[in-house]
Amino acid sequence: MPVPLLICDDSTFAQKQMSRSLPVDWGVEITFASNGLEAIEALKQGKGEIMFLDLNMPEMDGYQVLQAIREQDISTMVIVVSGDIQPEARKRVMQLGALDFIKKPIDQDALISILDNYGIRRESSPSSKREELKLDYLDACKEVVNVAMGRAADLLARLLNVFVILPIPVVNRIEVSELRMALHEVQDKETVSAVCQAFIGSGIAGEALLIFDESSFVDIAELMSFKGELNDSAQMELLMDISSILIGACLKGIANQLDITFSQRNPAILGRHVMINDILKKNASGWNEILAIEVPYRIENKQIACDLLLLFTEDSIDALKKRISYLSE
> Each residue of 70-79: pLDDT tens digit?
999 999 999 9
197 assigned to some structural domain: yes
Within-domain flag for 130: no
**Do residues 112 and 142 share a domain?**
no
110: pLDDT strictly greater than 90: yes
pLDDT over 70 at 247, yes or no? yes
Co-location of 78 and 224 in the same domain: no
Range of the domain at 60: 3-117
- How many domains are contained in the chain? 2
Mean pLDDT of 236-240: 88
pLDDT for 202: 94
CA dihedral 105, 289, 168, 162 (to 10 degrees): 90
Closest by alpha carbon to 127, among 247, 31, 217, 3? 3
- CA dist 225 and 87 (Å) reads 22
Higher pLDDT, 176 or 184: 176
- Residue 126 maps to a domain: no
Same domain, 44 and 155: no
Of 61, 83, 117, the last residue of a domain is 117
Q: 39 and 169 share a domain?
A: no
Q: What's the confidence (pLDDT) of residue 189?
A: 43
Per-residue pLDDT at 216:
83
Domain assignment of residue 124, yes or no: no
Q: Is residue 170 located within the same domain as residue 303?
A: yes
Q: Name the least confident of 6-15, 39-48, 130-139, 308-317.
A: 130-139
> Could you read off the pLDDT of 144-167 as tens digits, one per residue?
999 999 999 999 999 999 999 998
- Considering the domain architecture, whether residues 98 and 238 belong to the same structural domain is answered as no
Q: What is the pLDDT of residue 121?
A: 82
Same domain, 298 and 193: yes
For residues 111 and 142, membership in a common domain is answered with no
In the chain, the percentage of residues whose pLDDT exceeds 90 is 58
Q: Is position 131 within any domain?
A: no
pLDDT grade for 67, boundaries at 50, 70 and 90: very high
pLDDT digits (tens, 9 = 90+) for 272-319: 655 555 555 555 555 677 899 999 899 999 988 888 999 999 899 999
The pLDDT value given to residue 318: 93
According to DSSP, the β-strands at 3-8 and 50-53 are parallel
Please say if the pLDDT value at position 58 is more than 60: yes
**Residue 229: burial class (beta carbons within 10 Å; 0-12, 13-18, 19+):** exposed
The CATH number of residue 323's host domain is 3.40.1550.10
Look at residues 87, 117, 147 and tell me which one is the last residue of a structural domain.
Answer: 117
188 and 322 assigned to the same domain: yes
Q: According to the model, what pLDDT value does residue 277 have?
A: 57
What residues contact residue 94 under an 8 Å CB cut-off, 6+ apart? Answer: 101
| 103 has pLDDT over 70 | yes
Report the interhelical angle of 87-95 vs 62-71 (nearest 10°).
20
Q: Tell me whether residue 44 is in a domain.
A: yes
Query: Do both 61 and 164 map to the same domain?
Result: no
User: 183-221 burial string, b = 16+ CB within 10 Å, else e?
Assistant: bebbeeeeebbbbbbbbebbebbbbbbbbbbeebbebbb
Check if the beta carbon of residue 79 is closer than 8 Å to that of residue 53. yes
At residue 183, does pLDDT exceed 60?
no
CATH of the domain at 77: 3.40.50.2300
**Judgement on whether residues 196 and 247 belong to the same structural domain of the protein:** yes
% of the chain at pLDDT higher than 70: 86
Grade residue 187 by pLDDT with cuts at 50, 70 and 90: very low
Domain termination residue (choose one: 67, 84, 117): 117
Domain-located, residue 169: yes
Of 36, 57, 42, 51, which is closest to residue 99 (Cα–Cα)? 51
Query: Both 148 and 237 in a single domain?
Result: yes
